[in-house]
Structure 1
Amino acid sequence: MIGCDIIEIERLKKSYIKYGEKFLDKILSTKEKKIFFTKHLNKYSFLAGRFAAKEAVIKCLDKTIISYNKIEILNDKSGKPFIVIDNSVRDDLKLSISHSRDYAMAVCLKI
Protein backbone atom coordinates (compact mmCIF):
# COMPACT_ATOMS: atom_id res chain seq x y z
CA MET A 1 0.00 0.00 0.00
CA ILE A 2 1.02 3.58 -0.60
CA GLY A 3 -0.34 6.92 0.58
CA CYS A 4 0.49 10.43 -0.61
CA ASP A 5 -0.63 13.92 0.38
CA ILE A 6 0.22 17.51 -0.47
CA ILE A 7 -0.94 20.68 1.28
CA GLU A 8 -0.42 24.41 1.03
CA ILE A 9 1.66 25.67 3.95
CA GLU A 10 -0.33 28.92 4.05
CA ARG A 11 -3.56 26.97 4.65
CA LEU A 12 -2.16 25.38 7.82
CA LYS A 13 -0.69 28.72 8.92
CA LYS A 14 -4.12 30.39 8.65
CA SER A 15 -5.77 27.59 10.63
CA TYR A 16 -3.16 27.86 13.37
CA ILE A 17 -3.51 31.65 13.54
CA LYS A 18 -7.31 31.35 13.70
CA TYR A 19 -7.62 28.44 16.18
CA GLY A 20 -4.29 28.48 18.02
CA GLU A 21 -3.28 25.64 20.28
CA LYS A 22 -6.68 23.93 19.90
CA PHE A 23 -5.76 23.33 16.27
CA LEU A 24 -2.36 21.95 17.25
CA ASP A 25 -3.98 19.59 19.76
CA LYS A 26 -5.95 17.97 16.93
CA ILE A 27 -2.93 17.57 14.64
CA LEU A 28 0.20 17.09 16.77
CA SER A 29 1.17 14.73 19.57
CA THR A 30 2.66 16.12 22.78
CA LYS A 31 6.21 15.42 21.54
CA GLU A 32 5.49 17.05 18.18
CA LYS A 33 4.04 20.14 19.89
CA LYS A 34 7.23 20.45 21.92
CA ILE A 35 9.25 20.41 18.68
CA PHE A 36 6.87 22.94 17.12
CA PHE A 37 7.32 25.37 20.00
CA THR A 38 11.01 24.91 20.76
CA LYS A 39 13.14 23.47 18.00
CA HIS A 40 11.85 24.19 14.55
CA LEU A 41 12.79 27.33 12.65
CA ASN A 42 9.91 27.32 10.16
CA LYS A 43 6.95 26.31 12.31
CA TYR A 44 4.40 26.40 9.52
CA SER A 45 6.44 24.19 7.18
CA PHE A 46 6.89 21.77 10.06
CA LEU A 47 3.16 21.76 10.79
CA ALA A 48 2.20 21.30 7.14
CA GLY A 49 4.76 18.53 6.72
CA ARG A 50 3.41 16.66 9.74
CA PHE A 51 -0.16 17.10 8.52
CA ALA A 52 0.70 15.79 5.03
CA ALA A 53 2.64 12.89 6.57
CA LYS A 54 -0.27 11.87 8.77
CA GLU A 55 -2.67 12.06 5.82
CA ALA A 56 -0.27 9.88 3.82
CA VAL A 57 -0.10 7.34 6.69
CA ILE A 58 -3.89 7.20 6.96
CA LYS A 59 -4.23 6.67 3.21
CA CYS A 60 -1.49 4.03 3.22
CA LEU A 61 -3.18 2.11 6.03
CA ASP A 62 -6.55 2.56 4.30
CA LYS A 63 -8.08 3.86 7.53
CA THR A 64 -10.91 6.33 7.47
CA ILE A 65 -11.07 7.01 11.19
CA ILE A 66 -7.85 7.63 13.09
CA SER A 67 -6.94 10.73 15.09
CA TYR A 68 -4.05 12.74 13.72
CA ASN A 69 -2.63 13.23 17.20
CA LYS A 70 -2.46 9.43 17.65
CA ILE A 71 0.01 9.24 14.76
CA GLU A 72 3.42 10.56 15.74
CA ILE A 73 6.04 11.55 13.18
CA LEU A 74 9.46 11.78 14.80
CA ASN A 75 12.99 11.91 13.43
CA ASP A 76 15.96 9.68 14.11
CA LYS A 77 19.45 11.10 14.80
CA SER A 78 20.13 11.54 11.08
CA GLY A 79 16.83 13.41 10.57
CA LYS A 80 15.01 10.56 8.84
CA PRO A 81 11.31 10.51 9.78
CA PHE A 82 9.72 7.48 11.40
CA ILE A 83 6.17 6.69 12.45
CA VAL A 84 4.81 5.84 15.90
CA ILE A 85 1.17 4.77 16.31
CA ASP A 86 -0.23 4.00 19.76
CA ASN A 87 3.28 4.18 21.25
CA SER A 88 4.62 1.54 18.83
CA VAL A 89 7.24 2.27 16.19
CA ARG A 90 5.92 1.14 12.82
CA ASP A 91 8.95 -0.36 11.08
CA ASP A 92 6.62 -1.63 8.33
CA LEU A 93 5.88 1.97 7.25
CA LYS A 94 8.42 4.12 5.42
CA LEU A 95 7.89 7.87 5.10
CA SER A 96 9.29 10.73 3.07
CA ILE A 97 8.39 14.39 3.67
CA SER A 98 9.33 17.28 1.36
CA HIS A 99 8.77 21.02 1.48
CA SER A 100 8.91 23.83 -1.03
CA ARG A 101 8.26 27.47 -0.36
CA ASP A 102 4.49 27.00 -0.68
CA TYR A 103 3.77 23.29 -0.25
CA ALA A 104 4.52 20.32 1.96
CA MET A 105 4.06 16.78 0.72
CA ALA A 106 4.56 13.29 2.06
CA VAL A 107 4.57 9.73 0.80
CA CYS A 108 4.10 6.67 3.01
CA LEU A 109 4.82 3.11 1.88
CA LYS A 110 3.86 -0.06 3.72
CA ILE A 111 6.49 -2.76 3.24
Structure 2
Amino acid sequence: MIIGLGSDLCNIERIRNSIDRFGDRFLNRVFTETERAKAARRPHTVAGTLAKRFAAKEAYSKAVGTGFKAGVFMKDIGVVNAPSGAPTLLLTGGARARLDMLVPAGHEAVIHLTLTDDHPWAQAFVVIEARPLPA
Protein backbone atom coordinates (compact mmCIF):
# COMPACT_ATOMS: atom_id res chain seq x y z
CA MET A 1 0.00 0.00 0.00
CA ILE A 2 1.17 3.55 -0.67
CA ILE A 3 1.68 5.54 2.54
CA GLY A 4 3.33 8.63 1.07
CA LEU A 5 3.71 10.56 -2.16
CA GLY A 6 5.74 13.71 -2.77
CA SER A 7 7.09 15.71 -5.68
CA ASP A 8 9.23 18.79 -6.12
CA LEU A 9 10.44 21.01 -8.94
CA CYS A 10 13.69 22.90 -8.33
CA ASN A 11 15.35 25.62 -10.37
CA ILE A 12 18.95 24.64 -11.12
CA GLU A 13 20.05 28.28 -11.31
CA ARG A 14 18.71 28.86 -7.79
CA ILE A 15 21.00 26.08 -6.54
CA ARG A 16 23.94 27.48 -8.55
CA ASN A 17 23.34 30.91 -7.01
CA SER A 18 23.25 29.43 -3.50
CA ILE A 19 26.54 27.62 -4.16
CA ASP A 20 28.12 30.83 -5.50
CA ARG A 21 26.81 32.95 -2.63
CA PHE A 22 27.21 30.63 0.36
CA GLY A 23 29.71 28.00 -0.85
CA ASP A 24 30.60 25.24 1.60
CA ARG A 25 28.26 26.61 4.25
CA PHE A 26 25.29 25.83 1.97
CA LEU A 27 26.73 22.57 0.64
CA ASN A 28 27.56 21.16 4.07
CA ARG A 29 24.23 22.18 5.61
CA VAL A 30 22.06 20.65 2.88
CA PHE A 31 23.95 17.78 1.24
CA THR A 32 25.59 14.60 2.52
CA GLU A 33 29.22 13.84 1.87
CA THR A 34 28.18 11.21 -0.70
CA GLU A 35 26.02 13.75 -2.57
CA ARG A 36 28.78 16.35 -2.59
CA ALA A 37 31.30 13.79 -3.86
CA LYS A 38 28.98 12.70 -6.68
CA ALA A 39 28.49 16.32 -7.76
CA ALA A 40 32.25 16.95 -7.65
CA ARG A 41 32.77 14.08 -10.11
CA ARG A 42 30.48 15.94 -12.55
CA PRO A 43 32.23 19.30 -12.92
CA HIS A 44 30.04 20.52 -15.79
CA THR A 45 26.76 19.67 -14.05
CA VAL A 46 27.42 20.27 -10.34
CA ALA A 47 24.39 22.51 -9.87
CA GLY A 48 22.10 20.18 -11.83
CA THR A 49 23.28 17.13 -9.89
CA LEU A 50 22.67 18.90 -6.59
CA ALA A 51 19.36 20.41 -7.70
CA LYS A 52 17.96 16.93 -8.37
CA ARG A 53 19.03 15.86 -4.89
CA PHE A 54 17.57 19.03 -3.36
CA ALA A 55 14.27 18.23 -5.11
CA ALA A 56 14.40 14.66 -3.76
CA LYS A 57 14.80 15.94 -0.19
CA GLU A 58 11.82 18.27 -0.65
CA ALA A 59 9.74 15.48 -2.22
CA TYR A 60 10.52 13.14 0.69
CA SER A 61 9.55 15.78 3.27
CA LYS A 62 6.20 16.11 1.50
CA ALA A 63 5.73 12.35 1.25
CA VAL A 64 6.09 11.96 5.03
CA GLY A 65 3.80 14.94 5.61
CA THR A 66 6.08 17.11 7.72
CA GLY A 67 8.06 19.37 5.46
CA PHE A 68 11.29 20.33 7.19
CA LYS A 69 10.01 20.33 10.75
CA ALA A 70 9.22 17.71 13.38
CA GLY A 71 12.88 16.67 13.34
CA VAL A 72 13.14 16.12 9.59
CA PHE A 73 16.27 17.86 8.27
CA MET A 74 17.66 18.01 4.73
CA LYS A 75 20.99 16.49 5.71
CA ASP A 76 19.17 13.43 7.13
CA ILE A 77 17.85 12.64 3.63
CA GLY A 78 20.59 11.36 1.36
CA VAL A 79 20.25 10.35 -2.28
CA VAL A 80 22.29 7.23 -3.02
CA ASN A 81 22.30 4.66 -5.79
CA ALA A 82 21.12 1.08 -5.36
CA PRO A 83 23.38 -1.66 -6.77
CA SER A 84 21.27 -1.50 -9.95
CA GLY A 85 22.17 2.20 -10.31
CA ALA A 86 18.64 3.38 -9.54
CA PRO A 87 18.45 6.33 -7.15
CA THR A 88 17.02 5.76 -3.69
CA LEU A 89 17.15 7.43 -0.29
CA LEU A 90 19.36 6.71 2.70
CA LEU A 91 17.63 8.14 5.77
CA THR A 92 19.09 8.99 9.16
CA GLY A 93 18.01 10.89 12.26
CA GLY A 94 14.58 12.51 12.25
CA ALA A 95 13.92 11.62 8.61
CA ARG A 96 14.29 7.91 9.45
CA ALA A 97 12.26 8.27 12.65
CA ARG A 98 9.38 9.94 10.81
CA LEU A 99 9.29 7.15 8.22
CA ASP A 100 9.32 4.52 10.96
CA MET A 101 6.28 6.21 12.56
CA LEU A 102 4.30 5.90 9.31
CA VAL A 103 4.93 2.22 8.61
CA PRO A 104 2.20 -0.07 9.95
CA ALA A 105 3.18 -3.02 12.14
CA GLY A 106 4.09 -6.08 10.11
CA HIS A 107 5.25 -3.99 7.14
CA GLU A 108 8.50 -2.57 5.79
CA ALA A 109 8.98 0.71 3.97
CA VAL A 110 10.08 0.67 0.35
CA ILE A 111 11.03 4.03 -1.14
CA HIS A 112 10.71 4.66 -4.86
CA LEU A 113 12.54 7.72 -6.20
CA THR A 114 12.82 9.13 -9.67
CA LEU A 115 14.93 12.14 -10.67
CA THR A 116 15.08 14.13 -13.89
CA ASP A 117 16.35 17.44 -15.14
CA ASP A 118 15.99 19.63 -18.20
CA HIS A 119 17.80 22.90 -17.65
CA PRO A 120 16.80 25.05 -15.85
CA TRP A 121 14.57 22.56 -13.98
CA ALA A 122 15.24 19.52 -11.80
CA GLN A 123 12.41 17.32 -10.60
CA ALA A 124 11.94 14.46 -8.15
CA PHE A 125 9.08 12.15 -7.22
CA VAL A 126 9.01 9.99 -4.09
CA VAL A 127 6.56 7.18 -3.45
CA ILE A 128 6.69 5.40 -0.10
CA GLU A 129 5.24 1.92 -0.10
CA ALA A 130 4.44 -0.18 2.97
CA ARG A 131 5.08 -3.78 1.96
CA PRO A 132 3.97 -6.68 4.20
CA LEU A 133 6.82 -8.57 5.82
CA PRO A 134 7.12 -12.23 4.81
CA ALA A 135 5.21 -14.52 7.14
Structure 1 contact 98–105 (Cα < 8 Å) conserved: yes
Taking the TM superposition and a 5 Å limit, the aligned residue runs for 1:1-111 are 1-37=4-40, 39-41=41-43, 42-64=45-67, 65=69, 66-86=72-92, 92-111=110-129
How many angstroms apart in 1 are the aligned matches of 2:39 and 2:115? 16
Give RMSD over aligned pairs.
1.8
Q: Percent identity?
A: 26
Please list every run of 5 or more consecutive structure 1 residues that lacks an aligned counterpart in the other structure: none
What one-letter code is carried by the residue in structure 2 that aligns with 1:58?
Answer: S
Q: Given the two structures, how large is their TM-score scaled by the length of structure 1?
A: 0.89
Q: CA deviation at 1:20?
A: 0.1
Q: CA deviation at 1:35?
A: 1.7
Q: Given the two structures, how large is their TM-score scaled by the length of structure 2?
A: 0.74
Structure 2 contact 16–47 (Cα < 8 Å) conserved: yes
How many residue pairs were aligned? 109
How many angstroms apart in 2 are the aligned matches of 1:21 and 1:75? 23
List 4+ stretches of structure 1 deviating above 6 A.
none
Please list every run of 5 or more consecutive structure 2 residues that lacks an aligned counterpart in the other structure: 97-107, 130-135
Larger radius of gyration: 2
